[in-house]
């Protein structure tokens, strides 16, 4: 691994970890805007202390604010956009559970949202601070964008993300590394649909024949939707939530199914949205309504992304590790939005680890220093 000059401030993994801990210990479930804003306040204060220009876009619909921090150099010209989210999927109290309490066991450090993605978000901040400690400036202005609701599709922050991306030359996303430290250069698109059935209620014992079951209708639709999965084509359809009925002795009048769709490219996205949208009721006496569509466009490794990856790979070699990429991942991120606009985007630049969204979520301490050093080099060299 490349060693710093004798008088050069060192990148201290223990200091990085302590900063990550401060952020992880503020629990931030997506739908609790007040909780997310508590961490937003901390992030804002840390950037202000470094002389950054900070903007807060007020949250809405119960979500927290978007925090935008800009380097004091470089003006308003196209630069580097760093994308992070501060929300997690974990409910309040997760950090007090035996599984997700903050702890370090060997190389693994546990905590709710530590892997996805508070570690990566803080590593990028640390790299920026390290640049200032070196009395350096990046060749391009740097803009950090922290969103409050990425885990639920970024419904209130997407417009801000796209606005910032249109004025960026490069986008770097602090989502976690994959499969032993690989970064992401393409992602499937994500679609979300709600299928609603409305039947006719009746007494399940006395007048069962008069009823028209919404649950039975949805059961048929579930089989139809799940049958659209095609692994060879990179298509997955998943009915993940079902609600319906009023009582076990009542023929159910209402039932709803919520569908997750993942597709590899825009053409297949259009095809699958049309197929799901064209679903019709099997029972002519039941009304069926399908709502939804793509909420994250797919993106592929085009020439701009390939060139940006090659640059990062060369920098990683200078640091002392071999950087590889995942050719296509099924998980969506805010990088889907920026790459779909044609802005070269590197994703998965956060910490290595495992267990996103689980009760064993963890990062590997050994990944903090080399990957933060990569962040510093990206800031120093991108132009």
Return the closest-CA partner of residue 154 out of 203, 200, 82, 85: 85
Section 143-164 average pLDDT: 97
Is the residue at 5 inside a domain? no
| Domain contains 345 | yes
Arithmetic mean of pLDDT, 109-124? 98
Looking at the predicted structure, is the pLDDT value of residue 17 above 70? yes
Per-position DSSP letters for 233-302, written without gaps between them? GTBEEEEEEEEE-S-TTEE-SEEEEEEEEEESSHHHHHHHHHHHHT---SSTTSEEEEEEEEEE--B---
Is residue 6 a part of any domain in this protein?
Answer: no
Report yes or no on 7 lying in a domain: no
| Interatomic CA distance for residues 334 and 297, integer angstroms | 10
Q: Are residues 150 and 210 in the same domain?
A: no
pLDDT of residue 327: 80
User: Residue 351 belongs to what domain range?
Assistant: 13-187+299-381
Average pLDDT for 356-383: 98
- The answer to the question of residue 4 being in a domain is no
Residue 8 inside a domain? The answer is no
The answer on 261 and 350 residing in a single domain is no
87 and 30, same structural domain?
yes
41 and 172 both lie in a single domain: yes
Is the pLDDT score of 6 beyond 80?
Answer: no
Are residues 177 and 78 part of one domain? yes
Q: Can you give the pLDDT at residue 330?
A: 84
| Residue 329's pLDDT band (cuts 50, 70, 90) | confident
63: domain CATH number is 3.40.630.10
Specify whether 17 is located in the same domain as 125: yes
Please give the pLDDT value at position 42: 98
270 and 214 inside one domain:
yes
Given 278, 296, 314, which residue is the final one in a domain? 296
Q: Are residues 247 and 143 in the same domain?
A: no
Q: Is there a single domain that holds both residue 167 and residue 273? A: no
- pLDDT tier at 7, thresholds 50, 70, 90: low
The answer as to whether 2 is a domain residue is no
- Same domain assignment for residues 172 and 198: no
**pLDDT above 90 covers what percent of the chain?**
95
One domain for residues 224 and 352 = no
Q: pLDDT digit string (tens) for 158-213?
A: 999 999 999 999 999 999 999 899 999 999 999 999 999 999 999 999 999 999 99
For the ranges 13-17, 58-62, 74-78, 368-372, the lowest mean pLDDT is seen at 74-78
Q: Give the CATH number, domain containing residue 246.
A: 3.30.70.360
Q: Do residue 30 and residue 162 come from a single domain?
A: yes
Q: What digits encode the pLDDT tens for the residues 308-322?
A: 999 999 999 999 999
- Give the end of a domain, one of 259, 280, 296: 296
Work out how many domains the chain is built from and give that number: 2
CA distance 137 to 326: 31
**Position 177 in a domain:** yes
Which of 279, 296, 313 is the endpoint of a domain? Answer: 296
Per-state percent for the chain, helix, strand, coil, to nearest 5? 35, 25, 40
The predicted model gives 104-125 an average pLDDT of 98
Cβ-proximal residues to 282 (8 Å cutoff; 6+ apart), any chain: 217, 220, 221
What's the whole-number average pLDDT of the chain? 96
């Amino acid at each position: 691994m490349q060693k710093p000059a004798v008088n050069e401030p060192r990148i201290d993994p223990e200091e990085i970890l302590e900063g990550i801990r401060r952020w992880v210990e503020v629990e931030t479930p997506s739908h609790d805007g007040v909780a997310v804003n508590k961490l937003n306040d901390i992030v804002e204060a840390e950037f202000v202390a470094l002389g950054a220009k900070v903007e807060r876009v007020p949250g809405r619909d119960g979500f927290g604010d978007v925090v935008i921090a800009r380097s004091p150099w470089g003006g308003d010209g196209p630069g580097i956009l760093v994308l992070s989210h501060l929300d997690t999927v974990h409910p309040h109290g997760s950090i007090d559970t035996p599984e997700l309490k903050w702890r370090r066991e060997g190389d693994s450090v546990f905590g709710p949202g530590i892997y996805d993605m508070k570690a990566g978000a803080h590593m990028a901040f640390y790299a920026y601070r390290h640049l200032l400690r070196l009395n350096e400036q990046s060749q391009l202005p740097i803009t950090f964008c922290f969103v409050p609701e990425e885990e639920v599709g970024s419904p209130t922050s997407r417009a801000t993300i796209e606005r910032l991306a249109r004025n960026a030359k490069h986008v770097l996303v602090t989502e976690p590394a994959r499969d032993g430290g690989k970064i992401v250069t393409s992602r499937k698109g994500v679609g979300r649909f709600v299928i609603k059935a409305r039947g006719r209620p009746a007494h399940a014992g006395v007048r069962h024949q008069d009823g028209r079951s919404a649950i039975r209708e949805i059961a048929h639709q579930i089989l139809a939707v799940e049958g659209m999965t095609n692994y060879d084509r990179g298509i997955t359809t998943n009915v993940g939530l079902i609600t319906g009925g009023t009582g076990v002795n009542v023929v159910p009048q209402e039932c709803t199914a919520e569908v997750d769709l993942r597709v590899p490219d825009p053409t297949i996205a259009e095809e699958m949205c049309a197929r799901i949208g064209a679903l019709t009721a099997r029972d002519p006496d039941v009304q069926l309504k399908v709502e939804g569509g793509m909420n994250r466009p797919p993106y592929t490794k085009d020439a701009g992304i390939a060139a940006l990856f090659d640059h990062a790979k060369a920098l990683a070699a200078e640091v002392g590790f071999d950087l590889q990429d995942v050719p296509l991942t099924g998980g969506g991120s805010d990088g889907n939005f920026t790459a779909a606009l044609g802005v070269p985007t590197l994703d998965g630049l956060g910490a290595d680890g495992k267990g996103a969204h689980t009760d064993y979520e963890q990062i590997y301490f050994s990944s903090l220093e080399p990957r933060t050093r990569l962040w510093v080099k990206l800031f120093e060299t991108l132009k």
